[in-house]
Amino acid sequence: MATDVLELPLDVAATRPILDHIANKWTVLILSVLCTQPARFNDLKRRLDGITHKALSEALKRLERNGLISRKVLPTQPIGVEYTITDLGCSLREPFAALYNWALANGTALENAQCAYDASKPGGGLEDGN
């Protein structure tokens, strides 16, 4: 372990509810997509490979409720809806970019660690349910 550990105050009661809203895979990916340009529901669904209709709908409602995106009904036939990131949502761009870049840089190391762990455990190493 590094000796130059960054000391942060750990206020779980204050930060956990906030992190519950922003620190899940779909929130990070949705906001990352919307940082570049507004998008309609089906465009988001196409760009977020693997997300279900229900999961996207729930995530968008949660993000709008939390002030991270705005929803605009378009006067088209059929009626369309466009989602845009807000200034508050945009303020997450830098930390999300850092997390995304970390994932790209360390994905192989993470997979290697998982394989090594699984190989050292009887039954594949997932006995704790994770």
Give the 3-state secondary structure of residue 39. strand
Residue 86 contacts residue 72 (beta carbons within 8 Å): no
pLDDT value at position 108? 96
DSSP tag of 5:
P
CB 56 within 8 A of CB 48: yes
User: 124: which DSSP letter?
Assistant: G
pLDDT for res 21: 80
User: Residue 20: what pLDDT?
Assistant: 83
Spell out the per-residue pLDDT of the chain, length 130, in tens.
Answer: 555 666 767 787 888 888 888 888 799 889 989 998 999 999 999 999 999 999 999 999 999 999 999 999 999 888 899 999 999 999 998 988 888 899 999 999 999 999 999 999 887 666 555 5
pTM here? 0.74
Q: Kindly list the structural domains of the chain, giving each domain's residue range(s) and its CATH number in brackets, ordered by start.
A: 12-124 (1.10.10.10)
Please identify which residue in the block is written with the tokens 């519950």.
20
The pLDDT of residue 25? 79
Q: Which residue, 58, 60, 24, 67, is CA-closest to 40?
A: 60
Give the model's pLDDT for residue 4. 63
pLDDT score of 17:
84
